[in-house]
Amino acid sequence: MKRRKLLFSLAFSASLAITTLAGCGNQEAATDGSDGESASKTLVMATSPDYPPYEFYETAGGEGEPIGFDIDIAKYITEQLGYELEVSGMDFNGIIPALQSERADFAMAGMTPTEERKQNVDFSDIYYEAKNTIVTKKDAGFDSFAALKDKKVGVQLGATQQEAAQTAAKEVGGFKIEPRNKISELIQEVKAGRIDAAVVEDTVAKGYVQNNPDLELSTVENAEAAGSAIAFPKGSELTPEFNRVLEEMKTNGEMDKLIQKWFEEYYEKSGQE
Ligand code: ARG
């Protein structure tokens, strides 16, 4: 599948001018209120489409709708529950504020349910587990946090990787943490040598490394769990509904099908492993 490969490379290629999807902001997020009458309601999902294969744009220009693992899960769940789905793209750091101000009904962005976040939003059950990696230039020799002492280490602003890097920096005697809004910017800066490494989740890092042969990755141990869950405004009535469908997806094979599609077949199609 040539086209897939091209699209995938484009999605990973650096300096993606990812723009916010139209529809965010001026559209009223559907909230609870009228119970039962869910048939024609549109749910707005906040996401940060810089995270292949979870969510990303197929084109370098960022036009069209984001696709990916999270988007397919969201489509399945909303369809099962009789809602329409609208996907609203934004920086990762803007997702929790979007939920708090009810500009979105839920969020899926490979988001880890941390204790800190739980004070501001509710989470579904975890639907996928992940590990962190360090992405560096090939043969740079930075295969652990210890090797990065006094170096520059990039992280996505507001992501759990920022905290993981802070903890590691203390443990190894210090390095400079460089937060950026988008994963694509981090990758670009590693390639350009402006930062020495970026801390990125394994499934996502794997795709970028596959498409950028000048990069490599090393897996690091997570201090805390790093799974993904769906986030909701506090007290949302959607949380139990979504959990019910997530559970169904785990038992009826749908989740395995999507894991297979986005974490296995997708890499095989898009690179030569
Ligand atoms: N799992 C990490 C977190 O929750 C990183 C998620 C980043 N997601 C994204 N779409 N960029 O903080």
Q: Which atom of ligand 1 is nearest the CA belonging to 112? A: 4
Domains 42-129+227-269 and 132-220 share a fold: yes
Ligand 1 center from residue 273 Cα (angstroms): 24
DSSP secondary structure of 125-152: EEEE---EEEEEETT----SSGGGTTSE
Q: What is the rounded CA–CA span in Å between residue 29 and residue 89?
A: 14
46 lines ligand 1 (CB under 6 A): no
Domain segments of the chain as ranges = 42-129+227-269, 132-220
Does CATH place domain 42-129+227-269 in 3.40.50.1440? no
CATH number for region 132-220: 3.40.190.10
Phi-psi region of 260 (alpha: psi -120 to 50; beta: other; left: phi over 0): alpha
Distance 36 CA to ligand 1 centre (A): 33
Taking only the tens place, the pLDDT of each residue in 193-240 is 999 999 999 999 999 999 999 999 999 877 666 799 999 999 999 999
**pTM of this structure:** 0.82
Which pLDDT score is estimated for 271? 53
Helix/strand/coil for 55: strand
C-alpha 152, offset from chain centre: 23
For the chain, what is the radius of gyration of the CA atoms? Answer: 18
Rounded to the nearest angstrom, the distance between the alpha carbon of 198 and the centre of ligand 1 is 13
Distance 40 CA to ligand 1 centre (A): 30
Q: Per mean pLDDT, which range of 2-16, 59-73, 153-167, 244-258 is the poorest? A: 2-16
110 lines ligand 1 (CB under 6 A): yes
Q: In whole angstroms, what is the distance from residue 135 CA to residue 161 CA?
A: 12
* Burial of 147 from C-beta contacts in 10 A (0-12 / 13-18 / 19+): middle
Q: Which pLDDT belongs to residue 60?
A: 77
Average pLDDT over residues 121-146: 95
Percent of the chain residues topping a pLDDT of 90: 75
Mean of all residue pLDDT scores within the chain: 87
Go through 29-44 and write b for each residue having 16 or more CB atoms within 10 A of its CB, e for each that does not: bbeeeeeeebeebebb
Going by pLDDT thresholds of 50, 70 and 90, the confidence category of residue 22 is very low
Locate 239 and state its tokens. 């949380």
